Every structure is written in structure tokens, then in C-alpha cells.
Amino acid sequence: MIWQGLDIASALQKALSGYKPESVFILCSEGSLFHARKTLEDAYPIFIRRQFFVVPDGEKAKSLKTAEDIWTWLAEENCKRDALLINIGGGAVCDVGGFCASNFMRGIKFWNIPSTLLAMVDASVGGKTGINLNGFKNYIGSFAKPSQVFINPQFIRTQSADELLSGWAEVIKHGLIDGGALWNRVNEGMPETKDSAAWLEIIVQNNAIKARIVDQDFTELGVRKLLNLGHTLGHALESMSLENSDINEPISHGRAIAWGLLLETELSVALKICEKEVLQHLKSLIEPLYEKIIFTSQQVDNMLLWIKGDKKNTVDEVRLSLIRKVGDCVYDVSTDILQVKQIFLRHASH
């Protein structure tokens, strides 16, 4: 069940009323601790006495080490199979928390309370959980649905502009796939952060699109692959930046996805399945908001290796979700890796 609204305290109070405090475990990150404490304090003060397990911010949370720490904490706190794990945070907390819950004692219940836009419009809904392995994003994971999701757009007021843009990229993606009212709304630009009512409307539209696709194909054997639009090239850009994160600041997930959407649309045009006008339109939405991602031609081969290693591909075939036109995307398009290389090389700095 997904609850989306502005009075999260009442919704949570009702939902938690059947639980004993000792059977509820709360996971958050350093960046979401404030919201986690405040939300539970407002909703159900008795739970504030529960210990919060705080994972590191960002991708560091999605490691085997953090998963082991969470499992150890649950075991030491005497967590039983009828317990509930509440994940309050961004996509990283929802991903690692869902993964840990779905495997602890073969699975305990979990709820997601997303505190970033990206988590509200993507990571907390749809039932994918995961952690990274050896630099590969989400390589270990499970399909496991949270029993409840509580979405309160007011949380995004404390997000940085960069983090907000991260979530907006996924909203653009969902709008592009659907081509209906959300796409029209995306073309009007982002609302003010404080305009929670406008955000709520966008989130509700967005999650209806995602749910419609996920409900047809939960384990991603077919149509759900459409939701990977922008992600094959985007993840390669993101992995490249994570690999060099000791030299440069890693790029945000959303910036990688925004540029992934652009480059994959460019590829769709090169493959003659999409009109140039679609690319121009998308450029006008993405380029003013998302700083260009700098990489060199030497890094391109490495990015191709990331793509070949992407779990969506067999070793010698690159299969992508691509766009034909707004509201008409296709999945499993078999593509020559050299054509992908051409697109990356066009954008290399030198």
C-alpha cells in the first residue's frame, strides 16, 4: 500500500497502533536522521525511544559491510520474524534496508518512508532492493515489496538543489515513457520546493505510471525493462564517476540518468528509430538543469565494459530500452556496442 499525503503523522499513528515498540526497528542515514526522529516523535512518541540504526550517507550505505552491520544489529536487538523494519531515508536507505529485511530470517516486513524526491518517485516503490558489488550498482538484491510506503513531499524542503534534480530526472523519465499528463507537467518545469501540494500531484501521477508498469511485470522479464530507460548509459557514467571518486566528486544518480536519457535518445536517433525533434526537445529540458558530465575518450572503453557487465546484457549482446517517441518506448533493443561507443566518443572532452 502506498500512502501519499501531507499529514504523515496521523497516517503513521494509525498504521503503527498494532505494533509493540520492541518489534519495530528503524533504519535511517546521517542525512535523514532528523526527519526520522521528527516523524516518529510527531506520530508516535513511544517509538522515539527505539534505537535508530544510522547507516553512512549515499552509496556507502549499499555495501555488504553495511548489510552485515544491519543484520548483526537486528540479531543483537533480538529481532524476531514478526518484526517490522522501517526505512526512513533516500534511495540508498530504502535499497539496503529492503534488501536486509527481505533476507533477515528469510524475510521480515518492512516499510519505506522516503525522504528524498528520488526515493519518493522511484526507489521506495516498485519492490526492488539492492546493494553494490565491486563497483557494480545493485548487483546483489531481491524483488521484495515493502508492506507499506508513506510519502510526504514536505521532506524534500531540506534537500539540496542537486539532490532534488536527481529525483526530477526520474520524473522526466516516467513522463517520457508515459507521454500523458505527467509529461505535460514536466514541461512546465519543477515547482518550488515549498509547494508541497504541487509536488504531491506530481508524485501521485508519477507513481501511478510506475505502478501500472510494475504490476504487469514485477520481476522485470518484459515490460518493466522500460523503466531502465536512460539507465544503461547512465549507470556507465555513474560507475565511471564512482571509480574516480578519489579524484573527482562523484556525480549524482539523477545527473547520470538525465545524461543517460539524452545519450540513449541520441542512440535511438542514430539507429533511426526516433526523430531528431524528440532529442532536441529532451535537450531543452535536460541541458539547462544538468551540468554536462566530463569524461575522456580513454574512459570510454572502460564505460563499455561496465555496460557489457551490466546484468541486463548477455556477454556479447547489448540490449537496451530506447525511445521511439514520447510515450512510445521499447525494451530489449539489441544494439551493436560500437554504436554505443560512437555516442560516448561524440561527448568525450578529448
Ligand X SMILES: NC(=O)c1ccc[n+]([C@@H]2O[C@H](COP(=O)([O-])OP(=O)(O)OC[C@H]3O[C@@H](n4cnc5c(N)ncnc54)[C@H](O)[C@@H]3O)[C@@H](O)[C@H]2O)c1
Binding site for ligand X (CB under 6 A): 29-32, 35, 57-59, 62, 89-93, 95, 115-116, 118-119, 122-123, 126, 128, 137-138, 155, 158-159, 163, 166, 253
Q: Please, are residues 36 and 52 in contact by the beta-carbon 8 Å criterion?
A: yes
CB of 55 to ligand X, least distance (A): 9
CB of 86 to ligand X, least distance (A): 14
According to DSSP, the β-strands at 52-55 and 328-335 are unpaired
Q: Coil, helix or strand for 59?
A: helix
Amino acid occupying residue 190: M
CB of 138 to ligand X, least distance (A): 6
Residue with cell 499529514: 7
Amino acid occupying residue 257: I
Choice between 118 and 307, CB closer to ligand X: 118
CB of 7 to ligand X, least distance (A): 17
CB of 20 to ligand X, least distance (A): 28
14's grid cell: 494509525
Choice between 57 and 217, CB closer to ligand X: 57
Give the DSSP letter string of 163-212.
HHHHHHHHHHHHHHHH-SHHHHHHHT-PPPTT-HHHHHHHHHHHHHHHHH
Choice between 19 and 139, CB closer to ligand X: 139
Choice between 279 and 331, CB closer to ligand X: 331
Choice between 145 and 253, CB closer to ligand X: 253
Choice between 100 and 119, CB closer to ligand X: 119
Cα 316 to chain centroid distance, Å, stands at 27
Choice between 58 and 191, CB closer to ligand X: 58
CB of 271 to ligand X, least distance (A): 26
Q: Which residues pair with 177 in a beta bridge?
A: none
Tell me the helices (H) and strands (E) count for the chain, helix number first: 13, 10
| CA–CA gap between residue 50 and residue 268 (Å, rounded) | 51
CB of 338 to ligand X, least distance (A): 28
Q: Coil, helix or strand for 172?
A: helix
Q: Please, are residues 213 and 122 in contact by the beta-carbon 8 Å criterion?
A: no
